[in-house]
Chains A and B, each alone.
Chain A
Amino acid sequence: MQDDKAVKFFEEVLSKTRAGKIRWEPTADESDYIAAIGGHFTLSISEGQNPYQTTYPINLPPTMCTLALKDQDGRVLTKVTDMDEGIPERDIRELYETARRQALHVDEKIDTILGELSKL
């Protein structure tokens, strides 16, 4: 059954990330990125092995993205993955990729290298 609240939460995070309004940061794990919101919540987006792939090896991607919301005490309030109803795999992968690019400042670094290359 589709969790409308979780879907709405995911869509809002995706839209704010696209707009560059969320400050994503890297962690010690290169497939995990975090952002603190409003002094009370933490978001994390991670990519890991798809646990369903070994059970149901039917065209499932080998990896799965998970968006988690935690409260101030570190409790997980909700988790959204590409296996959830109403969460398109393409969108959650876009969220992961955009968060990763923002956390690692990929675009700024590419601009720098383009500037350097143009001087050659």
Chain B
Amino acid sequence: MIDFLVRNWGNVASVAGLFFSILAFVFSKRASVAAREARDAALLRSLSEEMNGANRTAGEIVTYVGMERGDMALLRTSELMNQTSYFMARWDNRLSEGSKNNLLSVRERLHSIHEVLTKNRFADLSPRAKAQLVQACQRVSATFSEEYGRAVKASESEAR
């Protein structure tokens, strides 16, 4: 055995070197997959946190419209319009087509809410226009709740 090793030490060293290289490659591959998964999970957590913030703002709009506080509702609407545009740009490659469609619809709806609140004083709106406005605000809030739920679900399944 020793005689064999002495005569073939070069070949044995090559085989051992190859074995350790394969081992190192396998471990580095696993480490890079784990790092990528951790990064994705962190990103999805951040998406769900941001959606939660938007969901809260949408809820505030519903409350302000219910309290007939047009000025505050207008302020929050502008804020949420900007936030929605940010989502579209920031999370473009993370959002599904359905979510993007939801966010596009939400932004248009927020535009219409903004227009109604800018053109008229809340007290001057007809009961029909008020009902339409409340419904639009509730739809915005419901859509953000849905998107928040989706983001949480995605981050949970990524964490598993």
Chain A: which residue is nearest B140 at the CB level? A28
Asked if B104 is at the interface of the complex by the 8 Å CB criterion, the answer is yes
A35 to B100, CA, bound (A): 12
* A40 in contact with B109 given A26-B135, A29-B132, A74-B85 (CB within 8 Å): no
Chain B: which residue is nearest A44 at the CB level? B108
- 100-123 of chain B: CB within 8 A of chain A: 100-102, 104-105, 107-109, 111-113, 115-116
Main secondary structure of the interface of B (DSSP, over half): helix
Report yes or no: A28 in contact with B109, Cβ–Cβ below 8 A.
yes
Chain A: which residue is nearest B103 at the CB level? A36
* A29 in contact with B112 given A39-B97, A72-B88, A74-B85 (CB within 8 Å): yes
* A32 in contact with B88 given A25-B105, A42-B105, A74-B107 (CB within 8 Å): no
| Residues from chain B with Cβ under 8 Å of A39 in the complex | 95-101, 104
Asked if A27 is at the interface of the complex by the 8 Å CB criterion, the answer is yes
Report yes or no: A42 in contact with B100, Cβ–Cβ below 8 A.
no
A25 to B132, CA, bound (A): 12
A37 to B85, CA, bound (A): 16
* CB of A41, distance to nearest CB on chain B (Å): 8
Report yes or no: A34 in contact with B105, Cβ–Cβ below 8 A.
yes
A76 to B46, CA, bound (A): 31
Report yes or no: B132 in contact with A34, Cβ–Cβ below 8 A.
no
Contact of A27 (CB < 8 Å), options: B96, B99, B108: B108
* A42 in contact with B104 given A26-B136, A28-B112, A32-B112 (CB within 8 Å): yes
Extra A-B contacts (8), CB below 8 Å, given A23-B101, A26-B139, A38-B97 = A26-B132, A28-B132, A30-B129, A30-B132, A36-B105, A41-B104, A70-B108, A73-B85
Residues of chain B having any CB pair with chain A under 8 Å = 85, 88, 95-102, 104-105, 107-109, 111-113, 115-116, 128-129, 132-133, 135-137, 139
